[in-house]
A and B are shown apart, each in its own frame.
Chain A
Amino acid sequence: MKKTLILSVLIVMAFVFACKQTDKKQKQGIVVLSPEIAEIICALDAEDEITGITAECNYPPSLKDKKVVGSFSKINLESILALNPKYIFCSSLEQEGMASDLRNLGFQVEVIYPESISEMLAAIERIGILLDRKDEAMNLVSRLSRELEAIKQNSRGKAHPKVYLEIYRNPLMSVSDASFIGELIETAGGDNIFPTLERDYARVNPEAVISANPDIMICYSQDTLENIINRKGWQNIPAIKNRRIYFERDINPDIIQRATPRCVEGMKVLANIFASWQNEQ
């Protein structure tokens, strides 16, 4: 009996000791689970501090050399533990559950999910403070604000084309103005045909698209030009009649769907698309 007791105390102590050993290890580096934040961190010149990413973090391309700790929605907890990072940056949505798990394990988890341009600028500042890149963050924010102002200035007084953005074909889905991409369309001088929807990304009725008569269609639903122009009842939509249909090859979804500094480039591409429509009016 006594022997067993001593033995178990020893085992417990061994465990405690072992745990302490790992705890003593210095936490360092950053694990980024969201592609948006990875872009922001790299824009702040802190790419070297990133030790782990998720499979979706594909920009800048140099990130491909970093260790992958899973995908956006399926994160491998053990690989994060092995990296023992100082900060973990994650997004909201399905990553929220994972965030609280990681917090319970004693990590510093920052949930950043900018849903608008202003929230993105705020996120840049916050990340700048956290990573000790305050100056870089201030510079980036002021540069982006300047460019944003120029884009707004440029669209002022011009006719706004009606824009239909299709993110899904079956069932048909589009975006509202409340979504990040919707805000970019409006800021760049377009008029989203679905200003309000039940959610930022929601199912829409094909009849509503036909009735709205959009001038420009951005198609991210992997449908082909041939199919779109042959959709029943869609022939009289100006965007389709005049072949103003733009695909992923025309405007990279990442630069308008992700809330990152690159969205300014995205808005410029959008503004160009709108300008070519305006020139023909």
Chain B
Amino acid sequence: MNPILHDLQNKRWIWTATNAKQQAAKTLLETGFESLDNVLTGGFPRAGMIHLNSLLGCGEIRFILSVLQHQHTVSIEHKLNIFINPPFDLNAEFLLAQKVALKQLIVVRTTQQNDALWSAEQCAKSGACRAIFLWQRKLKHTQVRKIEHAALQGDCYCIWLDSYIPYGQQNLPNSVKSDLPRDLPRNLPLSLSLSISRQADTLTIKVNKQKVGWAQKAVKVPLPFSSRTNSSFKHHLDQALINDVNKVVSIHANR
């Protein structure tokens, strides 16, 4: 064998289909959905940078938090959750409902993109964080590589929220795109890249990139979070009222 290849294989930097089953060992974090675990050949990586492409407001944070709940490390409750440049104000009530301890939560706001990336890298590297949520529009290869490396070193997740809003919807902050989903960034050294979209009660998750495993079709998973906003709720309401409200909304929206 080529000595370089041999060297790389010794370092386990090369994945071959034959040892797929072996590598999908206990080192992965189960997501809680069998179908998703199958696609991911076992689950989320133990640490690293995760790219999450979605429409803003389709339950992307709740999905991630539900997966992170499966972490069972002793010191996990002492670790910090860092939110870097969320597009709007975070709501404490929501976070409490998601069982995120506010004491362990830090919001970082920067004016410069460089500062945001620097913070993300520092947080990831420190080993004091559980997860870093970074809202960013675009990242370059070297930037991703730095953060990915830091996250692996610090044994934490850095979740890159590549959220967008349909064009012309609102006055948007810098960290959110306002156009239709374009081509996803390719060849970035990420641990995992997912695209999420939502239809009524299911999430469709497409794995864009993972370090180990075959390319797979998108999977549908039920909403991972308890929500009263499902269809059964409607029955409690006066049907007439709903019709009325719908009318009002559509009139206004069409104006």
Task: Decide if A and B are genuine partners.
Answer: no
